[in-house]
Structure 1
């Protein structure tokens, strides 16, 4: 059986015979409808071409600068409409679906353009004026009245909410100023992110991702901020990724010029968790989410920019108890290096918190550990400006850790206590001089820690004088430095100190003084029986190593590990003040660059394991303890994480130590015995065409068989390729057709990056999803052709958002 399909040239309609299904394409803006021949495509690697087809394309003129197609019912008539940003005319264009042609509408008799193409009758244009350029548009019910609302982000810093009223008008608008937002398409998305059936609003920012949760009364709450771990977040989408019935937040992020797929999964308490990063695709060119297999959880569909293939991936959890293959990352929120990262039980509940600084925002960030759910996403409290160092210790014996903070900018050293549910502003300590560093240690072994302050009191270069002051807390709780029995002492350092670490370097049970200086090897002063440094003018140099490369830990006995090159050495200082290598552990890769190490139980078996932090290969190398010998076991991808230092603490309440990595502007955790979700490939597709450049993709059922297809946009050939998904066979070639032909043959891509957007949604009133393209200055609707399907109008679904 064959059917006739029209070709429109110079405003004239011709007819061609083609295969069982009709395929329409647009050629140039002389506007052409051409017929794709299914039989020919079957011979060219598209055996399923005969199962797809479209009715004549429906065209609507739009502004060339238009972007961001979204779908929804924008006049509450039960039909599906389209909305699109029209910055050329400072408005949002609503294309409202008509059931029948408007017979009162008369064509412009003065239009003398030879190749003029009239808009199709189906779409009725309604204009919504705006007063600023729009970078992102989204649609959803934001006040629980059953009507579809609009929200957009307008330059430079305005989030604008347009609520549809009972008359389908858009006069009710709310503006919210939001700073630090890099407005770009798809930085705004709407969906239920706390499992209360109400739609919430998400805005991706530079430092924070802001969520405006919808309240029970239909209003939006104040923004709740999630701290970003990377820069340039974009392409926000909301779907259930892990199949637990709760929506998750998916987006892309950029770090060191690499684009990463990222997600935050919603937990059983209705809160989004820490960021998961997936490196299964190194260069994602186009990404969308869709449930292809009909099972719980949407698949991630991505065009791999390195291979030009389509990959279908699913979020899966490893076997319970297996070592996670990914680091869980937590953002701090500031743009400056946060310096140190410490852990301590601030509230006395037996669970460790993570504390870090936000130097440029004059705050401290506390990540509280919650029973059953682990670390939360951090709370800011005011503090000193420019904090560079902080440490946690129980200074008063109340079983709660206090935080000691140093701000060189304010030349202040202070103690912050957890009071009334938060860290109080620091109480400054009476220390004179120019503060450079500090440390906490029990120098006199009385179970009451002292604070050692490092100051520069005079001189520059060789004349520099560095002093140590020893702070002691009296019975009344007051701190005093330079007491009669422990006066300040001067020491000779090779350079200005940046860090002081109290570490037992000679394994005599007393903490020694280990100074770290920029551009110089660390310098050690051994402590005497009173805990004071010996040989004040002759510190002992170590091999050159940074603060994060030195780790005091316990193997079979206390050890000092130093990371260097492709190995880790356990060293100690002997009685003659010479460094001795106790043991050396080599990485099983000569090109490794080991920047740090940690010792903890990761396999759940007797004996702690050794972790080498290899920044050269961007991996954590885990060496399993087998009968006292460290043997290569597993590697965990480090990615582009900017490692600074490491520590260990129980961060999920399972009584097992976890690995904590400090990245300056963020931190990451490798949980022992906890399996974290991974992105695993389940299908892949390579086009049978010779010259292919796939730019983007969308998914939906395009032939009414109850099974989804993937629609690919080739922006070099200006072509659409439809791919069928079958659970047992994966992705199979379906059909391809040109959208338009280029006028010039001087080179590929002369027609620009077109079509530039696509969405699959029902806009013709027959209940069948249609293909909608945005190309140049036209909206192209390809109505699905299904002769054996009943044309039954259906209720408008949830709004659909196209992607760039």
Structure 2
């Protein structure tokens, strides 16, 4: 055979003549399922114009001569292949799935209807459906791409998974009852999700899609090696903004890949998820994963780090004012932070503190509710965190902030309380003793207490910080405590930028006595207080050293101590800046690393080991979740396996679907083009590379010209066998009809050649 006589990829694809199933205006979405138990897939299509769901069941031995007339006036006739069953609905339906929720062997229907209802339709007898239960769910926002039945968490019972207010909600399912959902929040509104085993570990993962985002793919990977199913933290993947995403499961490959359409470049790209070992990061972007808070969007959340169960690993405790609770992220060996556990607490808890104040040094939790005027003490047991017991304070005073501090040889809880504008500091020794210090009349209540030996005399002082107001020092002397206001402290302007999130206590010069570190503008300043400086030097606050960032545009808003290094968050450039000491002197400090963090706004940070493997990480706290930023270890990343760019400017692909449309055992990719109104077909090779195969016109009409800027039709593609010949067909949902392209089988191909 001559080279130019070799068949092209297009020769391996063929469809029988197009068949049209007319539904009516506002047709779709559609799905497929065996609704009558005959082993054949039926076509399920929403007909919102006529307020019904249509089930088109395959007929036995059907032929084109079997067409039947309409059953009533203004009714479309049944397609000769199918027997139509109409299921009346009361809503505008945006998504529908088939699931035998009552366990009687017959498939039932579950649909999402506007406004905000999840409706269970039980098939009580073949072709007869009744409303079994309706659940009103506020902000339910699912379409056909965001309603699933799958088993991703807990035991072997499946869950119903959908989108509520842009968050993925995983509802336990018991018949037609739905339980309290597990929520997966991404920080931005997700528009769709997919459930597959993307990393090939044998567990189902959940992939959320936010098309207009710098990190449009958010994946919660299923954890392996656990007795029950659970999902890990959110992992974000940076990509260009997208138009559509679909999973691609290739035979012989462990993990499911994703094919996507890039919005700006119009490229159709395939990616696979791969695990790689991280070298120590000193530049570039760091990987991270995100743990969602139970009350996303809370801007007044307090969060502390403590080892609550004595296992030597650092856990995270956060307030949950929405639920009047505290949420605990326990750290597990080799797993890192687990999903949050919620424990009831005071109403609108404002401040948290924790420390080894219990019996035998066990950690206890302290909570402050200004709304209820209570400071509470919670014991931590193997069952969790007990409800707080109120601590005794001065009558008539309302607590506003607190901090645990070791004063002398014992822990005390330092509490600032107010009565109108009068404030006092109460030092509770946690054994019933209490010492009160009058702070006088303050325009604004302090927000933060920092325990530090500010003047390095061996006694712990307390710094009271108030946003946009001067610092107040509670100075510990030989004869007790004295209050020093800013005007009584020399050079108080050197510390005026100090706040809770941008300060740390650290021995900057290695003399065994800590200094106060303040991150501000493009520098970190280390200060101490000195009442008796050398001759000629003004008493008060003194700068021990100042470390400037290399980039003058840096805006440092938070800092933390990591071993013997200082980590600062540069909000302006969204980077972590590392500072190290090259010699024993304080002046030897300099910036050594700049690590980018894409897709997560840096504000407050903590440093420590949070990934369960003992490696040092940075914990960044946002409004919706906390990010564990990896500086080493393993990470999952996306690797591009192929890409294809359309040759014509008019082409505008908008929808993808994957399946085998020519029966050769290889997966094909369908790409719908609203610009030229075509359907492009790609095929994947045995090595997993995508190749363009063929293309055909879907429709050609002046009404639809310029479709890329007006509307995206066809709006849905399904690959499934609805003709009963064992070969998957191509089904397109377009305007008021279903376009059915039956796959041409090998027998018909051969007969055509003859």
- TM-score, normalized by the shorter chain, greater than 0.5: yes
Give the whole-Å Cα distance in 2 for the aligned partners of 1:398 and 1:177.
50
Offset at 1:293? 6.2
1:261 is matched with which residue: 217, 233, 252? 217
Residue in 1 that maps onto 2:576: 620
**Other structure's SS at 2:672 match:** strand
Q: 2:267 aligns with which of 309, 331, 334?
A: 309
Match of 1:785 among 732, 737, 744: 744
Give secondary structure in 2 for the equivalent of 1:193: coil
Counterparts of 1:347-746 in structure 2 under 5 Å? 347-419=309-381, 421-431=383-393, 432-443=396-407, 445-446=408-409, 448-459=410-421, 465-474=422-431, 479-481=432-434, 486-490=435-439, 495-520=444-469, 522-529=471-478, 532-536=481-485, 538=488, 540-541=492-493, 542-553=495-506, 556=510, 558-575=514-531, 576-600=538-562, 608-622=564-578, 632-633=592-593, 635-641=595-601, 643-671=602-630, 673-726=632-685, 730-744=689-703
**Which of 207, 224, 233 pairs up with 1:250?**
207
* Offset at residue 105 of structure 1 (A): 4.8
Give the number of the structure with larger relative contact order, counting CA–CA contacts within 8 Å between residues 6 or more apart. Answer: 1
**How far apart, CA to CA, are the structure 2 residues paired with 1:210 and 1:260?**
19
Aligned 8 A contact 1:343 1:649 in 2: no
Measure, in 2, the Cα distance between the counterparts of 1:753 and 1:311: 20
Contact 1:301 1:313 in 2 (8 A): yes
Give the RMSD, CA atoms, in angstroms.
3.6
User: Equivalent residue of 2:501, what SS?
Assistant: helix
CA distance in 2 between counterparts of 1:401 and 1:684 reads: 54
> Quick check: 1:600–1:610 contact (8 Å CA) kept in 2?
yes
CA–CA distance in 2 between the matches of 1:724 and 1:254?
A: 25
Match of 1:90 in 2: 51
Query: Residue in 1 aligned with 2:535?
Result: none
- Offset at 1:623? 5.6
Distance 1:745-1:252 versus aligned 2 partners, 3 A rule: closer
Q: Which residue pairs with 2:258 in the alignment?
A: 300
State the secondary structure of the residue aligned to 1:417.
strand
Closer, same or farther: CA 775–545 of 1 in aligned 2, 3 Å:
farther
Task: State the Cα deviation string for residues 690-745 of structure 1 (Å, max 9, x = none).
Answer: 32222121112222232222211222332222223336583332222222223259
User: Are residue 763 (structure 1) and residue 722 (structure 2) matched?
Assistant: yes
Relative distance call for 1:196 and 1:330 in structure 2 (3 A) is closer
Q: Aligned pair in 2 of structure 1 residues 668, 427: CA closer, same or farther (>3 Å)?
A: same
> What is the TM-score with the length of structure 2 in the denominator?
0.86
Cα displacement (A) at 1:373: 3.1
Give the whole-Å Cα distance in 1 for the aligned partners of 2:76 and 2:62.
17
The one of 326, 333, 341 aligned to 2:294? 333
**Alignment length (residue pairs):** 722
Q: What per-residue deviation string (whole Å, max 9, x for no partner) do you get for residues 311-354 of structure 1?
A: 21122222167669322211122242352211223334444331
1:347–1:725: structure 2 CA closer, same or farther, 3 Å change rule?
A: same
Measure how far apart 1:790 and its partner are: 9.1
Deviation at 1:635, TM superposition (A): 2.1
Q: Taking structure 1 as reference, are residues 735 and 571 closer, same or farther at Cα in structure 2, changes over 3 Å only?
A: farther
Q: What does residue range 168-317 of structure 1 map to in structure 2 within 5 Å?
A: 169-171=128-130, 173-179=132-138, 181-194=140-153, 199-206=158-165, 209-213=168-172, 222-253=179-210, 260-267=216-223, 268-269=225-226, 270-292=228-250, 294-317=252-275
User: 1:753 aligns to what?
Assistant: 712
Q: For 2:500 and 2:678, locate their aligned partners in 1 and report how far apart those are by CA, in whole Å.
A: 55
Which moves more between the two structures, 372-381 or 166-175?
Answer: 166-175
Q: Deviation of residue 84 (structure 1)?
A: 2.6
Distance 1:789 1:346, change over 3 A: farther
**Shift in Å, 1:264:** 1.0
CA shift for structure 1 position 419: 4.5
Q: SS state of the match for residue 398, structure 1?
A: helix
Please give the alpha-carbon distance, in whole angstroms, between the structure 2 residues aligned to 1:625 and 1:99.
Answer: 81
Shift of 1:756: 0.9
The 3-state SS of whatever aligns with 1:690 is: coil
TM-score, with structure 1 as normaliser:
0.81
Conservation of the 8 A alpha-carbon contact between 2:59 and 2:81: yes
Contact 1:79 1:763 in 2 (8 A): yes
What's 2:534 paired with? none
- Consecutive unaligned residues of structure 2, counting only runs of 5 or more, are 532-537
Whether the aligned pair in 2 keeps the contact of 1:365 and 1:378 (CA below 8 Å) is yes
Change (3 A) 1:760 1:207: closer
State which drifts further: 717-726 or 158-167: 158-167
Question: CA–CA distance in 1 between the matches of 2:126 and 2:688?
Answer: 49
How far apart, in 2, do the equivalents of 1:510 and 1:717 lie?
78
CA distance in 1, matches of 2:187, 2:203: 24
Q: Is the 8 Å Cα contact of residues 720 and 738 (structure 1) preserved in structure 2?
A: yes
